[in-house]
Structure 1
Amino acid sequence: MSPTTAIIYTRFSSSEQSKGYSLERQRSLGLEFAASKGWHVESTITDAGRSAFHGTNRLEGSALHQFELEAKNGLHRGKVLLAENVDRLSRQGPKAAARLIWGLNEAGVDVATFHDGMIYRAKENGEVMDILLLVMSALNAHQESDKKSKRTSASWKRRFSQIADGTQTAPVPNMPLWVDRTEAGMVLNKHRTAVLNDIYDLYIDGVGIHRIVTILHERGEPSWTPPEQRRGNNGWFYSYIYRLLTKRTVLGEYVTSDGKTLSTSFWPQAISTEKWNRARAALAMRKGNQITTKTQGNRNLLSQMVVCDKCGGGAHFRHQIDKGQTYTKKSGEVVTYKRNDHRRLRCDRARRKHNCDNGTILNYDVVERTVLQEMLPLLIDKRGINTVADKLREQIADLRRDRNADIARLDNLIDAIADGGSKAIIQRIAALEGSIETQTTAINSAEKALELESAKPSGDDDIALIATLKNDLTSECDEVRVYTRGRVNMSLRRVIKRIVITTTGCFRVEPDEFSWWIFDADGTMLEGTYVPT
């Protein structure tokens, strides 16, 4: 007896989506086939953007994987799974396709393909011709996918080669969303480039990514994601802003998914190199930051700066707002007693009783006031010499000297080969080539680090900025206060290396590895020393 209940399975891969393949087409043809057989369609299950060639449509989280599990548990016995053809289910070769279909048959599920009208029934061992047709269909599907994969790979290799040598003229997929293609070539979209620069400026000034997302939504700035994509109508997201801040495409570079730079000027440049480096420096400083939301108001000006002297762990910032205690007198009068708000700093590990017993709890307001009113005047004479940058320059010079020496040795060995070199010389040449490649990689890495370090403002610039923004730190306007405290936090973290909670109820401020000042719980300086860098 034929099954009376059918479940339609539809699927497309990412590449098929771009070519206009329609899930609705698969579903409508499936409904027509089911109607011709007198089957009732119970539901339609879909795997969108999953490849049958790589088997991702059968991995955990896919609709087909879930169906297989349910079938093995007997939930679909007596039903039929209806798909367009075998390659919608599997393109991994005849063995994989046969095992999938026969596995469903053993679970009491028939499998039908409406493209060729085949039905692989659960209650039959299968005719020899049906088995041969299944194997041939699966084999053809696998071979076609394999050819397509090789053609795609060859096409990308050719395209990458043309991008690298500057001969690529045809449009390439995945163009940056701030670039327009015109008859004259690729040009920057004026409005989107302005928005992109605003995003960079906000982040450099200390505004977090979540806050940037909120600002863009408050402005009514439409997202750039195409409407047909999954998130196309859902506005801006943290992940997309982060990609904009980290992808070198904004500099005009074409970088492959594995990080190889093919061209440094393939796209129109939207962000200046100086601004890019400043954003990278800000990203490095903010790495590991806790999310700061608007409701928090960026209250902790010393975020990521305070540590425990005993365990080295970070500090816990607590802002307790006392709403007061309300009670009603016998006379009926309602009275509310309200205490002061409390803002405290203490070792987070000690608070959680995890491998630290530093019991010091500091008044946050005292520490903030001390840093702004006592420490900054002491640091006015601090010069902005960047010792990190100097060390990087020395490192680059040493690496270049070593590389030049190895290149000279390599040239001598190559001359020796021309005169009839031995196998040992050839081995030495290979070793030198490897050494030169390693040195070149190290030089490139150090040069990028130097660019980031050089992009950081000097200590004098930060101190001057903090001084000009002091009045806005306590502004009644949320926008002004949040923005200002974010900028000042970034500047303070460049000026002050750390603030240490001691075990004696005091705190120590260290602008660098050599200078330090100790203050008591009331903010009175006890002792300290300053060593100019």
Structure 2
Amino acid sequence: MSQFAISYTRFSSGSQRHGTSLERQQELSLRFCKKHNLTLMQSFHDGGKSGYHGKHLEAGGQLKRLLEMLDNGDIPRGTHLLIEQTDRLSRQPLMQAFSLVTNLLEKGLVIVTLDDEQRYTYEGDQTQVYMLAGRLHRGYDESRSKSERLGKVWANKEKEMKEGKLPKMRLPFWLERDSSGEVVELSSWVSLIEEVLNLSIEGYGGADIAAKLNGEGKLTKDGVNWNSSKITKLIRNKQLTGWHTRKADKTMYFCLPPVVSQELFSMAQKALDSRTRTRGNSKQWNSALSGLTSCGACGGALKLHGRPQSRTAVCRTAVDGGSCTNRKSIRYKALVLGSVASLSTSLASLMMKQPNKKPPQEKRDLETLLAKAENKVSNLVQSIGLSENSTMLVTLTRELDKASNEVETLKVKLSEVEPVESAEVRAFRMLRIAKEEVPALVTGVLEGSKADANKLNTYLHSIDGFKIDLLDGVATVLGTDIWFEKKELKISNEHVGEVSIIKEDKAPKVGTYVTDSGHEIVTEERGTPLGGGYYLAI
């Protein structure tokens, strides 16, 4: 018999990676080899792969690799395969597990279970076969019982989460339970999260944010440094807005207390997806309109060039020697001010016209269908258990397969329904930002602030259909035309007609106001503020 050995170790849960499971299995293999003078040629290890679901036999599994090496003749016949127990090889139903073990034995391996040092060979006696079958069945039975227990526990948790309640579960690092069991926010961590999201909105990348936090001594909850991956994962975490996602099927439940607003979260997502970032040379200039402009003739991108205070936008193809003839340019400042003016006059109407992409009713309908399908599966399982008619069993089994497939399909559809705002709520939120935040951003943009340019760019990208087309010196965005007429910037749309954009020092005086005490107060009508000292004269 060969004096060579290989070992196979496996554990199914991530938590066992940090425990003693792997170390124990490896120690047993080394001890057996030393005791029986065997040379351990190679070790195969599947970490976090379920033997009950057969994940270790799929692509990427080390047991699958071991089988392939056997087929290729890379492992000599008579080699000892060392396993802690038979359940390390498989926890599948008896016939599947027995087929796997038989295959290994047929290819010349000697299987050794290290817990009792029992050896199994293809030529072994019948008693060995019965012992092996018994151990394989026991491993499957234990896993099935555990799966059923966990299934019942999950069903109770799912019921609570569907009702908006938070069951006993591991909480994200910014939440904890107090002495009474109530879930409370940890203010210091919530403040850090808000800082991270705001930095992302301002255009900082994950590496920049991590460096800033680490430099200030703000480490992770585990006391280690932040890195780009950790920052990105935090920004993408929907638990920040109250949504818990089940890993198994990606179903989402609103059961956690939100710690940031949906508005802040959404803008941070847009910032991650945006092409603008505060990186590299600090003198580098960022456009607030990056990715939002195009030529009205050829569809190509616009080119921004010139000095900071007089930058102009023109078709890149036209000025770089291409076939486009749309060579008339417009000031970058005019595009920024005109875009903001367009938002202030037409955003409400545009937002209200946008239908809900996925109305809440869709989710409720899917949940109703899923409950019915799961109830059907439960009834079929009970019927199969009670039926003694073989013909009826075939029919019921076929129906069970169809019902089970329907359950899985509905779960996938349900997981794809993202929590969305209604058109009314979205319109109100976007209008509030346009009124309260955008003018201040415009001021920063016109002064050359990279952070404000990135933040405004992120906001404009979040508006469906926001695209600036330039044709013959006239820019069009959201149904609003922007152009210069005798050195005066004008806009025109169906909501306000033709209106000028003026500077503060040109604001017209419209009259006086006399107080009860007889004092005369001069009033000025500057119109709608756009930022940077500019107003829409309406």
**TM-score, with length taken from structure 2:** 0.65
Q: What is the 5 A alignment of 1:73-88?
A: 73-78=72-77, 79-88=79-88
Contact 1:384 1:460 in 2 (8 A): no
SS at match of 2:345: coil
Deviations 1:306-339 (A, max 9, x none): 3455675x749899xxxxxxxxxxxxxxxxxxxx
1:383 aligns with 2:383: no
Q: Aligned residues: percent identity?
A: 22
Match of 2:468 in 1: 499
What is the Cα deviation at residue 469 of structure 1? Answer: 0.7
- 1:307/1:315 contact within 8 Å kept: yes
Q: Deviations over 1:448-477 (max 9, x none)?
A: 45434432344444551233213652xxxx
Alpha-carbon distance, 1:118 to partner: 2.5
What are the equivalent positions in structure 2 for 1:58-73 lying under 5 Å apart?
A: 58-73=57-72
Contact 1:346 1:501 in 2 (8 A): no
Of the three residues 423, 426, 429, the one matched with 1:455 is: 429
- Specify whether residues 219 and 47 from structure 1 end up closer, same or farther in structure 2 by C-alpha distance, changes over 3 A only: farther
Question: Does residue 1:295 correspond to 2:257, yes or no?
Answer: no
Separation (CA, whole Å) in 1 of partners of 2:303 and 2:123: 70
Give the superposition deviation at 1:295: 2.8
Equivalent of 1:516 in 481, 486, 491: 481
Measured on the aligned residues, the alpha-carbon RMSD in Å equals 4.5
2:536 counterpart residue number: none
The answer on whether the counterparts of 2:241 and 2:265 sit within 8 Å (CA) in structure 1 is no
Deviation of 1:42 (Å): 2.6
- Does structure 1 conserve the Cα–Cα contact (< 8 Å) formed by 2:111 and 2:120? yes
- Among 199, 214, 218, which residue is 1:202 paired with? 199
Is the CA contact (8 Å cut-off) linking 2:13 and 2:49 kept in structure 1? Answer: yes
Give runs of aligned pairs for residues 77-476 of structure 1, distance below 5 A.
Answer: 77-78=76-77, 79-121=79-121, 124-162=122-160, 172-185=168-181, 186-209=183-206, 211-224=208-221, 235-238=226-229, 241-242=232-233, 244-247=235-238, 249-252=239-242, 256=246, 264=255, 267-271=256-260, 275-281=261-267, 283=269, 285=270, 288-290=273-275, 292=277, 294-295=279-280, 299-301=285-287, 302-307=289-294, 309=296, 315=301, 346=316, 359-360=323-324, 370-373=331-334, 375-376=336-337, 380=341, 382-383=344-345, 385-391=347-353, 447-456=421-430, 457-461=432-436, 463-470=438-445, 473=448
1:12 Cα deviation after fit: 0.9
The CA deviation at 1:55 is 0.8
Alpha-carbon spacing, 1:206–1:168, altered in 2? closer, same or farther (3 Å): closer
Q: 1:525 to 1:180 in 2, by over 3 A?
A: same
Q: CA deviation at 1:160?
A: 3.2
Deviations for 1:188-235, whole angstroms, at most 9, x for unmatched residues? 2232121112123233445455643444344443234x58xxxxx673
CA offset digits 1:408-461 (Å, max 9, x no partner): xxxxxxxxxxxxxxxxxxxxxxxxxxxxxxxxxxx9977545434432344444
Q: CA deviation at 1:145?
A: 0.4
Contact 1:7 1:41 in 2 (8 A): yes
Separation in 2, partners of 1:360, 1:25: 72
Unaligned residue ranges in structure 2 (runs of 5+): 306-312, 366-416, 496-538
Aligned-partner Cα distance in 1 for 2:76–2:225: 40
Kept in 2, the 8 Å contact 1:318–1:344? The answer is yes
Secondary structure (helix, strand or coil) at the match of 1:152 reads helix
Distance in 2, Cα, partners of 1:235 & 1:287: 17
Check conservation: 1:10, 1:45, Cα contact below 8 A: yes
Larger mean Cα displacement after TM superposition, 30-39 or 255-264: 255-264
- Asked if the contact 1:206/1:486 (under 8 Å) is kept, the reply is yes
Q: Which amino acid aligns with 1:175?
A: L
State the AA in 1 paired with 2:198.
Answer: D
Alpha-carbon contact 1:300-1:317 (below 8 Å) kept:
no
Question: CA 1:515 to 1:74, structure 2 compared with 1: closer, same or farther past 3 Å?
Answer: same
Q: Secondary structure in 2 aligned to 1:192?
A: helix
Closer, same or farther: CA 308–108 of 1 in aligned 2, 3 Å: farther
**Which residue of the partner structure matches residue 490 of structure 1?**
458
Q: Is the 8 A contact 2:351 2:427 kept in 1?
A: yes
| Matched-pair contact (CA < 8 Å) for 1:384–1:459 | no
Could you state the TM-score of these two structures normalised by the residue count of structure 1? 0.65
Residues 47 and 63 in structure 1, CA contact (< 8 A), matched pair in contact too: yes
**SS of residue paired to 1:222:** coil
Q: What's the offset of the Cα at 1:389?
A: 3.8
Cα distance in 1 between the residues matched to 2:192 and 2:45: 37
Contact in 1 for aligned 2:295/2:302 (Cα 8 Å): no
Structure 1 residue 125, shift from structure 2 partner: 3.4
Shift in Å, 1:35: 1.9
- Which stretch of the first structure deviates more once superposed, 17-26 or 255-264? 255-264
1:149 to partner: Cα distance = 0.3
Structure 1: stretches of 5+ with no match in the other structure: 228-232, 320-342, 352-356, 404-442, 474-480
- The structure-2 alpha-carbon separation of the partners of 1:19 and 1:378, relative to structure 1 and needing over 3 Å to count, comes to closer
2:388 is matched with which residue?
Answer: none
Alpha-carbon offset, residue 16 of structure 1: 6.0
The superposition leaves residues 357-412 of structure 1 with CA deviations (integer Å, 9 ceiling, x where unpaired) of 9745999xx97x82225651685484364224433699999x9xxx9xxxxxxxxx
Q: How much does 1:15 deviate? A: 6.5
Contact in 2 for aligned 1:303/1:489 (Cα 8 Å): yes
Is contact 1:376-1:463 (8 Å) kept?
no
Structure 1 residues 239, 454: CA separation in 2 closer, same or farther (over 3 Å shift)?
Answer: farther
- SS of corresponding position for 2:171: coil
Instruction: Supply the distance in 1 between the matched residues of 2:15 and 2:339 (Cα, whole angstroms).
Output: 65
8 Å CA contact retained: 1:80, 1:112 = yes
Distance 1:189 1:466, change over 3 A: closer
Q: Describe the SS at the equivalent of 2:33.
A: helix
Cα distance in 2, alignment partners of residues 89 and 306 from structure 1: 60
Shift in Å, 1:53: 0.4
Q: CA deviation at 1:75?
A: 1.1
C-alpha distance in 2, partners of 1:168/1:377?
48
Q: Whole-Å Cα distance in 2 between the matches of residues 529 and 384 of structure 1? A: 12
Partner of 1:410: none
